[in-house]
């Protein structure tokens, strides 16, 4: 036991930030080589980081995860890394500027050595970046693993990852910080905003933007919900009153998306990601191709012809997606046939059993949809992998697009069918309510309770195990145990599913809430519980994710905007179909349709004009960005004039 503690101490010579786990069959020489490369000086092409192997676990579990390594760095190294990754920090004049070691003392909160200047998440991000950009020199393969080929300039970590030698790399949680964050975030019931700055401080900008968007979206829904309640209370059956609601819907969803852009720009500016330049993106680990020279960097790198990728995208993936959509449509038609059949059976002979029969088609359909979504998700991942995208970002975009289209179709096709083919507003309202409520319950269960329960069981086991070995007064584990426990936690797979859920909810509200005004209320309630469950799972269920210096919500902004365009069309059609409006054109249906189409075009035009008129970045931030640019130009000019005058002195 004493040995364990002392090993812990030898490890905590530096603050461990990131954990690297290698496969248990990794050769000794590979480990030694990797460690030396990580520790080597930057001039020699190393990463100049600190790294230690974690002492083996307590007692019998020695064979479990033998190759865990803790990586850290000196403050000096971290600061120079911050400059490498182009980190923006608050300057002493209040603006956000790219951090440089030369000007470090001009930054706010920079004191003495710079200890505490960078947040732990930033340090972890820097270490990740430095590890990722650790490149092979003249090695032809990883020592001891001849199948893991290397060539000069290849990222070592990515090769180890793609060959399965590196199992995972994750940043460590900070127990103290986490406790404080989780308390201010969700442990107290309060009427307050989320501590976005703290979330960003702990998880990075990408996560914080998601929670910021979730919060913004919830608040944006409140007016809808407030208007929806009286509609629900007083006009439940009077569904031709929904015209005003639909018009409100239209304006609302355009305006909130535009305002979110400004809001997101403000957040991104405050967090220093708005004007941060992205470093050159490395190929993703799974990318393969013929070895050649990258035309941009001149480095050796696999190359894969764009034309070939386009062929795969347009000739295989696109037809596959369309086929899936057709299949989904087909399944939907079967569902409607079954429903019709069940209804006719029930009408012929209304007994208790036929009453139950009425629910059967919906249940089957719901299950089939879930199964289809699942299978499709795997297929989409496989296909996108097969498309062989060079960049992680382009892989993500293609995957998001594929999954988005299919999910949208699966969720809304039946509603569209009911609304515009069957013209049955009562059924539409029923289906909407059913879909919304069941999907919410399912989601909350799958997302929060299940992982919570699994995690709790695992934790308990772990604690018991530890307790068996030694008697702990408090529940604080020594570092080695903490690392082992975190290595066992599930990996957070990014904000994809969270955004997808919000996207579908946004769809329910913006497309059809005029038919079922309570939708907004339900979504608000769901979002509030979503904040809590997401916060909980981020804090206690998953490994800490690496922070992601996002400046906006990326492709999702586009997705939400596309949805809002569809919402204009849908709402106009619903308005055109309402009995109220039809009364204005008693004689001619043609006139009604033409007017509806004309108004719809007008609304779309106004929507696009609004998008142009509302600046994406608030004025005061534009001014700050312009000032920075102006100052750097002026500085350059001054420097030049000085040089020129010196030059002319020499001339004379």
Only one residue has tokens 């509030």, namely 528
- Is residue 576 a contact partner of residue 247, using CB atoms and an 8 Å limit? no
- Residue 86 or 361: the one with the smaller Cβ distance to its own copies is 86
For its own copies, the binding residue among 10, 36, 106, 297 (CB under 8 A) is 297
- Residue 293 or 453: the one with the smaller Cβ distance to its own copies is 293
Measured distance CA(537)–CA(447) in Å, rounded: 8
- Residue 45 or 56: the one with the smaller Cβ distance to its own copies is 45
> Should residue 626 be labelled a site residue for its own copies when binding is judged by CB under 8 A?
yes
Shortest distance, position 634 Cβ to its own copies, whole Å? 8
- Residue 61 or 629: the one with the smaller Cβ distance to its own copies is 629
In sign, the C-alpha dihedral spanning 247, 222, 269, 80 is: negative
Helices 196-203 and 205-234: crossing angle, nearest 10°? 140
Stretch that binds its own copies, among 55-63, 137-145, 266-274, 635-643 (CB under 8 A): 635-643
- Is residue 162 a contact partner of residue 48, using CB atoms and an 8 Å limit? no
- 573-592 residues in contact with its own copies (CB under 8 A) are 589-590
> Should residue 461 be labelled a site residue for its own copies when binding is judged by CB under 8 A?
no
- Residue 343 or 625: the one with the smaller Cβ distance to its own copies is 625
Angle at 46 between CA 41 and CA 50, to 5 degrees: 75
CA distances from 646 to 632, 643, 649 (A): 21, 5, 5
- Using H for helix, E for strand and C for coil, what is the string for 520-561? HHHHHHHHHHHHHHHHHHHHHHECCCCCCCCCCCCHHHHHHH
> Should residue 39 be labelled a site residue for its own copies when binding is judged by CB under 8 A?
no
- Residue 190 or 619: the one with the smaller Cβ distance to its own copies is 619
Shortest distance, position 549 Cβ to its own copies, whole Å? 16
For its own copies, the binding residue among 601, 602, 616, 646 (CB under 8 A) is 601
> Should residue 367 be labelled a site residue for its own copies when binding is judged by CB under 8 A?
no
> Should residue 644 be labelled a site residue for its own copies when binding is judged by CB under 8 A?
yes
In this structure, the strands spanning 18-22 and 166-171 are: antiparallel
Shortest distance, position 643 Cβ to its own copies, whole Å? 7
Structure tokens at 284: 């993703």
> Should residue 633 be labelled a site residue for its own copies when binding is judged by CB under 8 A?
yes
Shortest distance, position 106 Cβ to its own copies, whole Å? 17
- Residue 43 or 60: the one with the smaller Cβ distance to its own copies is 43
> Should residue 457 be labelled a site residue for its own copies when binding is judged by CB under 8 A?
no
- 299-328 residues in contact with its own copies (CB under 8 A) are 306
Shortest distance, position 555 Cβ to its own copies, whole Å? 11
Stretch that binds its own copies, among 335-343, 457-465, 523-531, 624-632 (CB under 8 A): 624-632
Over the window 522 to 561, marking each residue x when it contacts its own copies by CB under 8 A and - when it does not, the resulting string is ----------------------------------------
For its own copies, the binding residue among 94, 112, 295, 586 (CB under 8 A) is 295
Residues 6+ apart with CB under 8 A from 409: 325, 328, 329
Residues 6+ apart with CB under 8 A from 551: 205, 268, 273, 274, 276
Count of C-beta atoms within a 10 Å radius of residue 198: 15
Helices 496-512 and 555-577: crossing angle, nearest 10°? 20
- Residue 44 or 146: the one with the smaller Cβ distance to its own copies is 44
> Should residue 649 be labelled a site residue for its own copies when binding is judged by CB under 8 A?
no
- Is residue 127 a contact partner of residue 74, using CB atoms and an 8 Å limit? no
Residues in the interface with its own copies (CB under 8 A) total 38
Count of C-beta atoms within a 10 Å radius of residue 479: 18
Measured distance CA(181)–CA(343) in Å, rounded: 53
Counted residue by residue, the chain has a size of 652
- Residue 525 or 605: the one with the smaller Cβ distance to its own copies is 605
- Residue 233 or 593: the one with the smaller Cβ distance to its own copies is 593
Angle at 395 between CA 394 and CA 401, to 5 degrees: 90
> Should residue 646 be labelled a site residue for its own copies when binding is judged by CB under 8 A?
no
For its own copies, the binding residue among 223, 635, 637, 646 (CB under 8 A) is 637
Measured distance CA(178)–CA(167) in Å, rounded: 25
CA dihedral (143, 145, 150, 154) in degrees, to 10, reads: -90
Structure tokens at 316: 């295989």
For its own copies, the binding residue among 291, 333, 437, 593 (CB under 8 A) is 593
For its own copies, the binding residue among 32, 279, 327, 367 (CB under 8 A) is 279
For its own copies, the binding residue among 382, 630, 635, 646 (CB under 8 A) is 630
- 94-113 residues in contact with its own copies (CB under 8 A) are 100-102
Structure tokens at 148: 């893991």
Shortest distance, position 103 Cβ to its own copies, whole Å? 12
- Residue 363 or 623: the one with the smaller Cβ distance to its own copies is 623
Measured distance CA(253)–CA(260) in Å, rounded: 11
Measured distance CA(440)–CA(529) in Å, rounded: 10
Measured distance CA(406)–CA(399) in Å, rounded: 11
Q: Helix H segments across 387-424?
A: 392-416
- Residue 96 or 142: the one with the smaller Cβ distance to its own copies is 96
Stretch that binds its own copies, among 141-149, 291-299, 472-480, 578-586 (CB under 8 A): 291-299
Structure tokens at 369: 């949809």
CA dihedral (278, 284, 288, 291) in degrees, to 10, reads: 40
- Residue 133 or 513: the one with the smaller Cβ distance to its own copies is 133
Measured distance CA(483)–CA(7) in Å, rounded: 14
Shortest distance, position 72 Cβ to its own copies, whole Å? 18
Stretch that binds its own copies, among 20-28, 196-204, 266-274, 630-638 (CB under 8 A): 630-638
Measured distance CA(192)–CA(182) in Å, rounded: 14
Helix, strand, or coil (residue 260): helix
Over the window 52 to 91, marking each residue x when it contacts its own copies by CB under 8 A and - when it does not, the resulting string is ------------------------x---x--xx-------
Shortest distance, position 94 Cβ to its own copies, whole Å? 13
> Should residue 594 be labelled a site residue for its own copies when binding is judged by CB under 8 A?
yes
CA distances from 328 to 219, 324, 355, 607 (A): 34, 6, 27, 31
Site of interaction with its own copies (CB under 8 A): 42-43, 76, 80, 83-84, 100-102, 277, 279-280, 295-297, 306, 569, 589-590, 593-594, 597, 601, 619, 623, 626-627, 629-630, 633, 637, 640-641, 643-645, 647-648
């Amino acid at each position: 036991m004493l040995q364990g503690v002392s090993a812990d101490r030898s490890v905590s010579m530096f603050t461990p930030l990131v954990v690297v786990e290698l496969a248990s069959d990794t050769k000794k020489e590979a480990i030694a080589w990797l460690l030396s490369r990580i520790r080597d000086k930057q001039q020699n092409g190393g990463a100049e980081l600190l790294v230690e192997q974690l002492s083996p676990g307590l007692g019998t579990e020695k064979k479990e995860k033998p190759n865990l390594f803790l990586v850290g760095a000196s403050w000096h190294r971290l600061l120079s890394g911050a400059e490498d990754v182009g980190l923006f920090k608050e300057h002493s004049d209040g603006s956000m500027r790219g951090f440089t070691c030369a000007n470090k003392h001009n930054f706010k909160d920079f004191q003495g050595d710079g200890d505490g200047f960078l947040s732990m998440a930033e340090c972890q991000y820097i270490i990740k970046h430095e590890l990722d950009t650790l490149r092979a020199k003249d090695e032809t393969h990883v020592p001891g693993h001849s199948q893991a080929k290397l060539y000069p300039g290849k990222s070592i970590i990515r090769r180890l990852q793609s060959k399965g030698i590196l199992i995972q790399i994750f940043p460590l949680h900070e127990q103290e910080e986490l406790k404080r964050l989780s308390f201010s975030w969700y442990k107290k019931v309060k009427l307050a905003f989320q501590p976005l700055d703290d979330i960003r401080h702990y998880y990075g900008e990408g996560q914080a933007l998601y929670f910021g968007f979730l919060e913004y979206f919830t608040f944006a829904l409140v007016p809808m919900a407030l208007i929806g309640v009286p509609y629900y209370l007083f006009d439940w059956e009077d569904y031709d009153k929904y015209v005003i609601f639909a018009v409100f819907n239209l304006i609302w969803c355009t305006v909130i998306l535009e305002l979110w852009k400004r809001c997101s720009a403000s957040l991104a500016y405050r967090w220093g990601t708005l004007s941060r330049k992205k470093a050159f993106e490395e190929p993703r680990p799974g990318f393969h191709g013929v070895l050649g020279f990258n035309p941009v960097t001149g480095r050796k790198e696999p190359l894969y012809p764009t034309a070939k990728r386009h062929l795969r995208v347009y000739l295989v993936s696109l037809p596959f997606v369309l086929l899936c959509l057709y299949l989904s449509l087909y399944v939907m038609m079967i569902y409607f046939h079954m429903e019709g059949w069940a209804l006719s059976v029930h009408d012929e002979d209304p007994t208790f059993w036929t009453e139950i029969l009425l629910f059967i088609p919906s249940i089957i359909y719901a299950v089939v949809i879930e199964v289809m979504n699942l299978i499709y998700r795997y297929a989409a991942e496989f296909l996108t992998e097969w498309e062989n995208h060079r960049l992680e970002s382009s892989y993500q975009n293609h995957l998001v697009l594929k999954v988005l289209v299919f999910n949208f179709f699966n969720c809304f096709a039946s509603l569209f069918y009911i609304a515009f083919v069957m013209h049955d507003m009562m059924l539409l309202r029923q289906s909407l309510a059913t879909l919304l409520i069941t999907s919410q319950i399912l989601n909350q269960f799958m997302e929060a309770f299940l992982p919570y329960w699994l995690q709790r069981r695992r934790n308990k086991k772990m604690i018991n195990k530890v307790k068996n070995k030694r008697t702990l007064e408090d529940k604080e584990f020594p570092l080695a145990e903490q690392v082992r426990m975190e290595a066992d936690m599930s990996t957070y797979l990014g904000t994809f599913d969270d955004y997808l859920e919000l996207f579908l909810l946004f769809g329910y509200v913006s497309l059809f809430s005029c038919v079922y005004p309570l939708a907004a209320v339900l979504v608000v309630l769901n979002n509030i519980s979503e904040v809590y469950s997401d916060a909980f799972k981020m804090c206690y269920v998953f490994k800490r994710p690496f922070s992601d210096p996002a400046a906006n919500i990326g492709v999702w902004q586009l997705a939400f905007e596309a949805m809002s365009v569809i919402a204009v069309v849908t709402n106009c059609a619903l308005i055109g179909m309402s009995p109220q409006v039809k009364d204005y054109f008693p004689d001619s249906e043609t006139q009604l349709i033409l007017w509806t189409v004309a108004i719809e075009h007008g609304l779309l035009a106004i929507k696009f004009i609004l998008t142009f008129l509302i600046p994406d970045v608030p004025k005061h931030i534009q001014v700050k960005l312009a000032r920075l640019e102006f100052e750097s130009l002026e500085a350059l000019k001054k420097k030049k004039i000085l040089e020129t005058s010196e030059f002319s002195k020499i001339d004379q």
